[in-house]
Amino acid sequence: MLPHSIDESRNFRILQVALLAATTLMATLALGTQQARANDLIVRYDQSQILRLPRPVSELIIGNPSIADVTIQSADLLVITGKTFGITNVIALDADRNVIQDQRVVVQRDEQRMVNLHKGGLRQSFSCTPNCQPTITIGDDPNYFDTISKHAAQKTKFSESGSEGSAGGGQ
């Protein structure tokens, strides 16, 4: 009977340590991630979102242009594109330099139909819509990221050269 109770005690301690580690990890992740607020503009990574303003904008100030790109589409319409993950803000000013809107922008990854393949500590991202195709996301395995980037650049180059060759073909 003694060896059996030693095994049970050891298994119980292992379970306690595992639960403590999991709880610590969850708390660390919860504290480390900033939550979106109700009035935040959520923009998905590599996607755009429209922001309508109550009056014409004359000037824009972007807190961190590496997180989001903002373009003036019309006098009262902005297009905000998520460039990398994070939180920034956009301040829209009118012609008299009065603040029209100070908008917090949160750029997040769109998790729908995304699959991550982990090989040890390295990650590869795939977009499954419905078939899984490689996609690149900040934080992916550098070799995978470089390979997929090169393929995408080559495809873009082929597309651009093809459209240049056919641009005047009908005239």
Residue 54 burial (CB count, 10 A): 9
pLDDT grade for 17, boundaries at 50, 70 and 90: low
The set of residues, in sequence order, having a beta carbon less than 8 Å from that of 2 and lying 6+ positions away, is none
What is residue 85's predicted lDDT score, i.e. its pLDDT?
87
User: According to CATH, what is the number of the domain 41-108?
Assistant: 2.60.40.1080
Euclidean distance between CA atoms 141 and 159, whole angstroms: 27
Task: Give SS3 for 36.
Answer: coil
User: To which residue do tokens 């939550």 refer?
Assistant: 35
Q: What is the pLDDT of residues 101-119, one digit of tens each?
A: 999 999 988 778 889 899 9
CA distance 76 to 78: 7
Distance of CA 134 to the CA centre of its chain: 16
Domain positions in the chain are 41-108, 112-151
pTM of the predicted model as reported, rounded to 2 decimal places: 0.60
